[in-house]
Structure formats: structure tokens, C-alpha cells
Chains A and B, each alone.
Chain A
Amino acid sequence: MNWDFIQEYLPLYESAALLTVKIGVAGIALSIVIGFLCAVVLFFKIPVLRQAVSVYIEISRNTPLLIQLFFIYYALPKIGIKINPEVCGMVGLAFLGGSYMAEAFRSGLEAIEPIQMESALSLGMEKSQALRYVVLPQAVSISVPAFVANIIFLLKETSVFSAISLMDLMFTAKDLIGQYYKTTESLFLLVVFYLIILLPVSLLGSFIERRLRYAGFGS
């Protein structure tokens, strides 16, 4: 292990980690919004939109992120839509994550017995009130584990960004190996930095999971 090398190229990894986190956070935030909207559409069985959402979810879940990024970054410019790599990374991540988040929300919503919705309605609540005060609190609490798993999954997916010239952690490591042939050092830093990013997320996730458990009905 050549510590001088590690010291010299540490700043490169730091900026790569920042880029990874930046795109990851933006992409995940967007995917949560998309996922929530899709889940609500599916839950209320809104016509037309429901079919559109199903098509989107199937496309998004059954194609690799790499292909989606290729399409956005290399194919769209051919028809005149040019997006810079960072935005492309965020959009790609949101496109992939949206469907996973939608499924996580949906599983939470479906886990709530319909009788609860019916009871709430019979007590005179509006549909939106029933959703807000009865269904959602339980549904969110149930979907949190799937949710946290998705977030970690999406952060790890950022490692394919090298294909669109984004200097994320993975590409930085590959690039240094290609330039200076310090494989061990480069990969060591790569593992350390991914752990620095992902360990807190996973710890925070399990903390939140425990704190929200109380909301479940009958437990």
C-alpha cells in the first residue's frame, strides 16, 4: 500500500464522493416524488393515468440503469435534446428509482385492509382525510424498510455513471488504475468512500425503521 499515492489522490475521491452524493440525493428525492405520485394513481385506480403508470413501471423496472442512461445521454441528443451529464445522471436515477419507490409505497398502501378506508369513510371523513390520517401513516411505516433498501440500492447504482463521463467514485478509481496502475490503493479508497457514504444511510435507515414501527395497526 502506497500511502503517498493515497494522500495525493484523496482530493479526487472527495470531489467524486460529493458528486455521487449530490446526484444520488437529487435523484432519490425526485424518485420519491415520482414514486409517491405513481402509487397514489395506482391506489385510487385513476383511469388512463393508471395504465400509463403501469407501463412506466414495467419499462423502468425491467431495463438496466445503464441502458436508460445511454438512451438519455447518447440517443436523445440525436433528436435535439441535449442534457448535461449531471442532469442526465439525476434524471436517469429518478427514472429508475421512481418505479421502485412506487412499488414500495404501493405495497404499504395495499397492506392496509380496505375495511379501514371504508370505516373512515363511514365515519364521515373525506377520502383525502381518510388517506391522510388513517391509511398513509400506517402505509408509510410499513414501506419504510423497502424504502431504505431502495435508497441504498440507488446510491450503489450510481457506480454505472462512468458510461456518461461523470467522474463518480467508480470512474475515478478506474481512471486512476488506468493512469497510474495503483490497483490496490485505488480500490481500497473506493471501498472506504462507498462505506463512508452508505454506512450512515443504512444506520439511519434502521433507526428510523425502529422509531416508526409503533404506527402499525395491531402491533
Chain B
Amino acid sequence: MRNLKRVIGILLALSLVFALAACSSQSAGTTGGNGSANETSTNAAYRTLDEIKEDGTINIGVFSDKNPFGYVDENGEYQGYDVYFANRIGEDLGVKVNFVSTEAANRIEYLQTGKVDLILANFTVTPERAEEVDFALPYMNVALGVVSPDSRIITSLDELTADDQVIVISGTTAETYLTENNPEIKLQKYDTYANAKNALENGNAAAWANDNTEVIAYALQNPGYTVGIPTLGSNDTIAPAVTKGNDTLLDWLNDEIVALGAENFFHTDYEETLVDTYGAEYEDSLVVEGGVTE
């Protein structure tokens, strides 16, 4: 009798797992094919522009540990380049902004599950990501960069030996780029910026690869570190992202970014949030105004 109960228990557990499998293969099947883009659009849980306005609050996903783009200051307030923009969006929509702290790896999930209406977490536009979410017009330029301690500055990926590890943050473009183009490099992966920086300071790896904006800021703020590789890979842009199919919000955002271009909003944003870190010299190369890239 006791045996029977146990067998039934295991069977139930297994059937639950396969039910999960069956469910999701079904939803992929009904939308025709295994393209996940289709799949997400059928069960996307997003709020339209009107629903957000009616609710009076917009949920915006930002980083809480990526100074100076999105971080929490000593008073517990969200600050940074992305946050400055987020606050303006709230103002122009006439709603309150509810900041939701995200990690790099769960930005897409947060949109797909409707946890946030909008991601403004320094989100680099890539073709793969564009299949999963909808990007608005860009507001910043970015490439990859590599920072390393002054004791051994890495100026080329070839300098890395078989023993060297490179820190990346899970779910970033740096991780994808190195996985695809330099599979021989051993990656040490962290889930948050805070942990990655801590690991670099503890000397756990030879270098840290990330968005060049981030590593430049890091080297400027932390003496003893130098950006040996200032650009790696292609030049990309950073843009707000909404849940796939949320056209009302996307259209409004695009209009907003174009309109803000007229008043040079993103230059003001730079001067308010980034100038202390980067100085004036990076202003024109970093900022994208009105969604227009060269």
C-alpha cells in the first residue's frame, strides 16, 4: 500500500513536468512553428497606453546598481541617465512612475510577463532581442569595452592566456559577443553589476567585459583600473523597449523621443547625470538626440 502511494506520487510529479512541456509545445504549435516571437505575442500580458493612463502609474524597469545610468543613491532615490528619462516620460504621460529594479538577464522576461510596461535599463538593441520585444527609437550609442587592473592591462583579447577568466554579466551583449566570437575565453558570470565589480576588485579575473560606457565610467571612478580595449564588436544603440505588440505605447514613445529632440532633452540629461563621470568630451559620441543616429 505504501509502495503504491509512492509510485503514484512519482507518477504525478512526472506527469506535471510533461504537462508543462505539452502545454508550451501546444501554444507554439497553434501559432505555427517554433518561432518564439509568435509565441510571445499570443500570451503577452501588456497594458496599452490608455490602460496605463487610467491606472495613473507606469511601471518602468531600470537598473539599481549601474551608476551613472540607473542606480539608487544614498537617499534611496533612483538616479541616472535612464532614470532622468523615465521621470520625464512619467511627467509627459501625466502618471506616476513606479521603478522596478531589474537584472540584465531578466529584462526581456519582465516585459513578456507584464511585470513592467517599459524597460529603460540601458538596453542595447540587437536583432535577437528585437524578435522578443519591441524597441523604440534609440537614445544612446554604445559598444563593448574591456577594463582591467593597471597591474596587467589587457589591450587585446589575444593577450588572455588559457588560465585567465573574463568577468561578464549574465544576459548582457558582452556575454553573447564573447560566447559567439571568442568561445575559447573562459567567462566568469555574475548576475548583478554589484557582484561583478566586487569580483573584479577582489582580483577574481583578469578583466571585465561590458558596455564600454560602463567600463569607462568604472575606470574613471576607480583608480587602479584602465580600459585597455575601448571598443569591441559593433557600434550599437540603446533604446527603450516595450512588450512585443504594445503598439500604442511604442508609438507614443517614438513621438516623445522625436519631440524631446527639439528641446535637446538628452543633452540636458547627459549634463545632469553623466557629465560628472565622463566629462564633456563624450557628450556628442554618447548621446542620440531625437532618435537620429549618424
Knowing A165-B188, A171-B191, the reply to whether A177 touches B28 (Cβ < 8 A) is: no
Give B residues with C-beta under 8 Å from A: 6, 10, 13-14, 17, 20-21, 24-25, 28, 34, 36, 104-106, 108-109, 112, 128-129, 131-132, 170-172, 175-176, 179, 188-191, 195, 198-199, 202-204
What are 29 A-B pairs with beta-carbon distances under 8 A?
A1-B21, A4-B34, A74-B195, A74-B199, A74-B202, A78-B202, A165-B188, A165-B195, A171-B191, A174-B106, A174-B170, A175-B105, A175-B175, A178-B106, A178-B175, A179-B170, A179-B176, A181-B128, A181-B131, A181-B132, A188-B17, A188-B20, A188-B21, A188-B24, A191-B17, A192-B17, A195-B13, A195-B17, A203-B10
Report chain B residues within 8 Å CB of A4.
34
Which residue of B13, B28, B131 is within 8 Å of A1 (Cβ)?
B28
The answer to whether B191 and A162 have CB atoms under 8 Å apart is yes
Nearest CB of chain B from residue A75's CB, rounded to whole Å: 9
Which residue of B14, B34, B112, B171 is within 8 Å of A179 (Cβ)?
B171
Nearest CB of chain A from residue B262's CB, rounded to whole Å: 35
Which residue of B6, B10, B129, B189 is within 8 Å of A175 (Cβ)?
B189
Q: Is A213 an interface residue (CB 8 A)?
A: no
For B14, B21, B109, B129, the residue with the greatest tally of chain A CB atoms inside 10 Å of its CB is B21
The 5 A-B residue pairs with the shortest CB-CB distance in the complex, in nearest-first order: A178-B171, A178-B105, A1-B25, A77-B202, A184-B24
Nearest CB of chain A from residue B44's CB, rounded to whole Å: 13
Report chain A residues within 8 Å CB of B131.
181
Cα–Cα, bound, A167→B131 (Å): 27
Cα–Cα, bound, A61→B199 (Å): 27
